[in-house]
Amino acid sequence: MSKQSITPTLQPVFGYSDLLTLTDYVADAWTRGVDRDWSAQAGTLEWSCSTTADHAFDATLAIGFFLASRRQESYPTWGELFSVGPNATPEQLIEAIQVAGRLVAGVVATTPDDVTAIIHRNPSKTAPPQDFAPRAALELILHGHDVAAGLQVDFEPPGDACARLRDHTRDWRHWQGGVWAPLQFTDDPWGDIVGGSGRARFDSV
């Protein structure tokens, strides 16, 4: 596939329906590896697939929690960690990530456009509801990739949803090899998102 750089074009924002699409994709990918070793290392992370999947549940669900709180200066000081539990089965982790994605999508869909809430800290930043679906999707899809890499299952999310996610977050800071930087733009949006996170794209064997 060509890696030629392209100029970003205006596309529809990444919405809650896109988050639902990627949620289903992650759940389907993990389901293909449900009988594999979830104690294996999740991609290049130090965590196991089970631990990473539990973190993905927490990191995804927390985004909806922040929006629902309507807080402006700090994250809620209660309910800061969501966990399926240390003894969760793969089936429970898959169900949990589906629930997290659906709950965030529901909060985004029902929050008035003029509402803002804290979306990042250090420094704190508020945002309208339309930024919370892509924020959750980055947590969901990148950790979904980590788990899939550890399970050795194919992971190639839908290109149109990835293009909208990349375009929506094009001006956000992304962690790239030790520095924060904007995303690169090529004709491979999923590759741009993976590269923008400092990860190596997983290719199944």
Q: List 66's β-bridge partners, or say none.
A: none
CA–CA dist 43, 65 (Å, integer): 28
Read off the pLDDT of residues 46-92 as tens digits, 9 standing for 90 and up. 999 999 999 999 999 999 999 999 999 988 877 668 999 999 999 99
Asked, for residue 125, whether it belongs to a domain, the answer is yes
The answer to whether position 191 is within a domain reads: no
The pTM is what? 0.90
Asked whether residue 186 is assigned to any structural domain, the reply reads no
- The pairing of strands 179-181 and 174-176 is antiparallel
Provide the domain count of the chain.
1
Percent with pLDDT over 70 in the chain? 88
Query: The domain spanning residue 102 has which CATH number?
Result: 1.20.120.450
Digit-coded pLDDT (tens) for 115-141: 999 998 877 899 999 999 999 999 999
- Residue that is written with structure tokens 């869909």 in the block: 109
For residue 94, the enclosing domain spans 16-161
For residue 4, being part of any structural domain is answered with no
Instruction: Examine residue 190 and state whether it is found in any structural domain, yes or no.
Output: no
Angle between helices 159-168 and 16-32 (to 10 degrees): 130
Query: Is 116 among the domain residues?
Result: yes
Amino acid letter for position 2: S
Residue 52 lies in a domain: yes
| Angle subtended at Cα 64 by Cα 60 and Cα 67, rounded to the nearest 5 degrees | 140
Q: Is residue 101 part of a domain?
A: yes
Q: Taking a C-beta distance cutoff of 8 angstroms, is the pair 98, 57 a contact?
A: no
